[in-house]
Amino acid sequence: MADVIRSTVPLALATVPGGITAARGFKAGSVHSGIKTAAAALDLTVLATEVPASAAGLFTTNLAKAAPVRVSQQHLDRSSGRARAVVINSGCANACTGDQGFAHARQMATETAVALGCRPEEVLVASTGVIGVALPIDRVVSGIRQAVSTMTQNGGPDAARAIMTTDLFPKEHAVTVQTARGSFVVGGMAKGAGMIEPNMATMLGVLTTDAQVSPTTLRRALQTSARDTFNAITVDGECSTNDSLFVVASGASGVAVDDETYPALLEGLLAVSRELAIAIVRGGEGATKLVAVTVSGARTSDEARQVARTIANSPLVKTAVHGADPNWGRIVAAAGRSGVNFDIDALTVHVGGTLMFENGLPHDDAAPIAAQHLRGQAIQIDVNLGSGDGASATIWTCDLSAEYIRINGEYRT
């Protein structure tokens, strides 16, 4: 089955409310368990299916993987890609917490399984928050029991709030995908504000669908959709210890995914993932501007991504964007150190559609027009390497402000 992104038949996608519980066969319950100090702040959620479902996950490439990441990887392997629930806490990452951390992550899965009447390996676990702090496991266990007892089909919005840490707003999205065989829904939620350069997914993300999909096909679709969405964002170039992206397919719609309907599933996952990924960047710590860096004219898409990511992660580029300084030299310099070979005399740079560099020479007379664009909140940087068959890629990032430094300078204090 080919990983094509576009269907040969036009697809109808319509936005619907509900987030992760918009798809049939899902319920969620969210509570304040006491991990967060703020009174009544939601900090734990359980998402569950009515019957065992297909599941897949992508995880951080960081070698310092948190306990819940390793437990979820083990559970997906042992269950052969089947799951009944995802349990997530915020306010504590349960990372770098030794054997106790693994015991706590396993206990979260076991308590959820007991409450739902399923096997522990059918429960996926995720945590987010401060690294190196032990979970208040007694509070978490009590919270899991309460969350399961209050699960509802309308629980998606609360779940999106329960996984927030320094996020300024909850991130959720859902679409209905219309096909010749009927319709199915793809929903999702995500969190992330700092420590965002996933190299897999995002800091935390959950996607749901009521399409009937095998675990193998579901994983393939997740990998493909994440490549140009969750794996195409960066806030600060930091790859977290806890990055996890899950997708669960309940099959409740009755629409089976095969070669013919696979593109429809992929379109749905892309639509939801792109919305969530861009929202993560837009809500990045200290961010005031959303920046799209598009590199074209590359030999391969991977080379285009490599150049775009280097530019997007450059502190000099990000601070210039924040100050509305059309400093094209920083963009060229970042491209030049990306590790991708190109001819500088064939390179062009546009800022907001304004040509700033061409044929090895600047167009500084256009700087005032570019500066005006940079004073906006949606910034476009285009670089053409002029060295290939037209392969391109886009990486989304944000500006770097003094507020980012303040937030992270006081994160534990």
Task: Give catalytic residue positions.
Answer: 202
CB-hemisphere CA count at 13 Å for 90? 29
Measured between alpha carbons, how far is 305 from 298 in angstroms, rounded to an integer? 9
Amino acid in the structure at residue 360:
G
- Calculate the dihedral angle through the C-alpha atoms of 316, 317, 322, 324, rounding to the nearest 10 degrees: 110
Q: Where are the beta strands (DSSP E) in 210-280?
A: 244-249
- Which structure tokens are listed for 256? 């089976």
Measured between alpha carbons, how far is 119 from 121 in angstroms, rounded to an integer? 5
Measured between alpha carbons, how far is 197 from 219 in angstroms, rounded to an integer? 21
CA distances 366 to 181, 317, 352, 355, Å, are 53, 18, 11, 7
Q: List, in order, residues 6 or more apart from 368 with CB less than 8 Å away.
A: none
Q: How far is CA 237 from the centre of its chain?
A: 14
Q: In terms of C-beta density within 10 A (0-12 exposed, 13-18 middle, 19 or more buried), how is residue 365 classed?
A: exposed
Amino acid in the structure at residue 310:
T
Euclidean distance between the first and final Cα of the chain, in Å? 51
Q: Among 140, 112, 108, 105, which residue's Cα sits nearest to residue 49?
A: 112
- Which structure tokens are listed for 50? 């009515």
CB-hemisphere CA count at 13 Å for 41? 14
Measured between alpha carbons, how far is 255 from 183 in angstroms, rounded to an integer? 7
Q: Identify whether the C-beta of residue 223 lies closer than 8 Å to the C-beta of residue 58.
A: yes
Q: How many CB atoms lie within 10 A of CB 385?
A: 26
Q: Where are the beta strands (DSSP E) in 268-352?
A: 290-298, 348-351
Residues in the chain: 413
Q: List, in order, residues 6 or more apart from 136 with CB less than 8 Å away.
A: 34, 35, 92
